[in-house]
């Protein structure tokens, strides 16, 4: 499929060939859902912890006599029914991460790229950089690439290489996120309201995701 390429002034200058096997697939919503859940699960720290009655600090002495008080018998104040006692079935440190099949993850990325391309949410721009490394220079450049009604919405820029200067320039823009073509994030890409792809990144995506899975 042919897709237009914009200059940094926002004018159409040429077109680029996008592989149908990457940008023209039917949308597989199920695998996208699984890929996003997998990323969110892998991000979880899993450090929440509560103390059971065996871990609560306190005496093992009975709080009162077993008989003659008219109250229910109690073993100690560490019981879960008392304030300050142990917690029943509370969380404990655990690892929430799990592996997702490689082919399924690649299919999810291609489905999201196809979704963005088919919905015309994706914009391919000639390669650019911000030599000054200043946020205001990058913000001024993005005004030419993002429609006025979408300014301030979550925007993802897909880079063809790890340009630390442009990343530094965008660090102070809270709604801007950077991804490398070979390290895409299903969550960031799917929820990006504006997806800006460098021309070199688009060509690299053709090759990286267009090759047959083995």
CA angle 123, 192, 194 (to 5 degrees): 30
Return the structure tokens found at 157. Answer: 């820029």
At residue 149, the pLDDT reads 82
> Above 90 in pLDDT, residue 163?
no
For 14, the 3-state DSSP assignment is strand
Task: Give per-residue pLDDT as tens, 83-125.
Answer: 999 999 999 999 999 999 999 999 999 999 999 999 989 999 9
Element holding 196 (H helix, E strand): strand 194-198
For 155, the 3-state DSSP assignment is strand
Return the structure tokens found at 90. Answer: 């509370």
At residue 212, the pLDDT reads 59
Would you identify the CATH topology of the domain 2-44+101-210?
Answer: Ribosomal Protein L4; Chain: A; (3.40.1370)
Using an 8 Å Cβ cutoff, are 145 and 125 in contact? yes
Q: Which residue has the tokens 């220079």?
A: 137
> Above 60 in pLDDT, residue 65?
yes
* 62 Cβ contact list (under 8 Å, min separation 6): 74, 75, 76
* 120 Cβ contact list (under 8 Å, min separation 6): none
Domain positions in the chain are 2-44+101-210, 47-95
Whole-prediction pTM value?
Answer: 0.84
**Across all residues in the chain, what is the average pLDDT?**
92
């Amino acid at each position: 499929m042919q897709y237009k390429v914009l200059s940094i002034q926002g004018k159409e200058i040429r077109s680029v060939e996008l592989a149908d096997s990457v940008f023209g697939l039917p949308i597989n919503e199920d695998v996208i859902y699984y890929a996003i859940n997998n990323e969110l699960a892998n991000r979880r720290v899993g450090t929440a912890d509560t103390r059971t009655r065996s871990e609560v600090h306190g005496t093992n002495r009975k709080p009162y006599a077993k008989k003659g008080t008219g109250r229910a018998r109690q073993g100690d104040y560490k019981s879960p029914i008392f304030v300050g006692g142990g917690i029943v079935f509370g969380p404990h440190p655990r690892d929430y991460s799990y592996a997702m099949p490689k082919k399924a993850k690649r299919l999810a990325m291609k489905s999201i790229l196809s979704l963005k391309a088919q919905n015309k949410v994706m914009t391919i721009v000639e390669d650019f950089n911000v030599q000054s490394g200043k946020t205001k220079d990058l913000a001024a450049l993005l005004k030419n690439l993002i429609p006025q009604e979408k300014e301030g919405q979550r925007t993802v820029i897909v880079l063809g290489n790890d340009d630390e200067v442009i990343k530094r320039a965008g660090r102070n823009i809270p709604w801007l996120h950077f991804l490398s073509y070979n390290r895409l994030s299903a969550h960031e890409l799917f929820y990006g309201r504006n997806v800006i792809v460098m021309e070199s990144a688009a060509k690299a995506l053709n090759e990286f995701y267009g090759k047959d899975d083995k």
